[in-house]
Amino acid sequence: VNVLNPYRTSSSPAIDRLSCLAPLSERDRAALAEAMHERSRVRPRGELLREGQAIGRPKLLLEGWAARVRMLDDGRRQFMSMLLPGDLVGSCRQARPLAVATVVALCEVQWCHAPEAEPGSGLGQAYAASAAFEEAALLAQITRLGRMTAAERICDFLLELRTRLAMAGLASDTSFDMPLTQETLADALGLTSVHVNRVVQGLRRDGDLQWKGGRVTLTDPDALAAKIGRVEIRVSEG
């Protein structure tokens, strides 16, 4: 049982997540199911979007993880945010929008075109809520990078992933699969992989977490959240 997402229906991670953001009508679900018939695949390190190029139709991530990334010309690399199943890629209010960051697959990824939402539909609300959560995630990232220590960054980041994955039915209360290396984690958190390694070892020693073979287990997520002063963000009323 997933206490973080009572709406979980096991239909598909993407649908689970969207229906967690707003109640979907049968029509909405049908549109999603229809859209999901035609899936595209991207291999690890492949790009879903390239900075400076036209965005095209918005995509819906179905499986696998991706990241919005920016590179400095001397090779320094920074991830803006992680994109998980159920997340929208390239959703935008503009007329002829350009991507402001490259989106790169961190493992085998599947996506489909996000179906047009009928005005006022639950799906439209879900898209809007998704955008709001995405902005909240950017602000959380800024706070991590600007004002947290390495250990705090790692814990806060993992707690955020756990919450977001749970919406898609991809996390139990304490653990989830994470296809990241210490290197990619470093790129997400503004650290070096060497330092990530040392700090993770410290967290393991202290019994805060386990991380082996692509699976993360947080010993006591609530206690950890309390320890680093993390609060979950609410994005709309009710």
Partner DNA sequence: CGGTATGTTGAGAAGAGTCAATTATGGTGG
Partner DNA sequence: CCACCATAATTGACTCTTCTCAACATACCG
* Residues within the interface to a second copy (CB under 8 A): 52, 54, 68, 70, 72-74, 76-78, 80, 92-98, 100-101, 125, 127-129, 131-132, 135-136, 138-139, 141-143, 145-148, 189-190, 229, 233-238
Tokens representing 182 are 């210490």
Segment interacting with DNA, rule: CB under 7 A, options 48-56, 155-163, 195-203, 215-223: 195-203
Segment interacting with DNA, rule: CB under 7 A, options 79-87, 121-129, 164-172, 176-184: 176-184
| Least distance CB 209 / DNA (angstroms) | 12
Kindly state whether residue 51 participates in binding DNA, applying the rule CB under 7 A.
no
Residue-wise DSSP of 167-209 = HTT-B-SSEEE----HHHHHHHHTS-HHHHHHHHHHHHHTTSE
Among 213, 229, 231, 237, binds DNA (CB under 7 A): 213
Q: How many C-beta atoms lie closer than 10 Å to residue 140's C-beta?
A: 16
Kindly state whether residue 107 participates in binding DNA, applying the rule CB under 7 A.
no
- Please name every residue paired with 40 in a beta bridge, in sequence order, or none if there are none: 111
Beta carbon nearer to a second copy, 38 or 237: 237
Sign for the pseudo-dihedral over CA of 25, 29, 34, 35:
positive
* Residue closest to 208 by CA, chosen among 162, 151, 141: 151
| Least distance CB 228 / a second copy (angstroms) | 9
| Least distance CB 125 / DNA (angstroms) | 38
Kindly state whether residue 149 participates in binding DNA, applying the rule CB under 7 A.
yes
Q: What are the Cα distances from residue 226, in Å, to 113, 143, 167?
A: 39, 17, 21
Segment interacting with DNA, rule: CB under 7 A, options 109-117, 158-166, 182-190, 220-228: 182-190
Kindly state whether residue 217 participates in binding DNA, applying the rule CB under 7 A.
no
CA distance 119 to 103: 28
CA distance 209 to 217: 6
Beta carbon nearer to DNA, 188 or 191: 191
CA distance 45 to 47: 7
Give residues in contact with DNA (CB under 7 A): 149-151, 181-183, 190-195, 197-201, 213
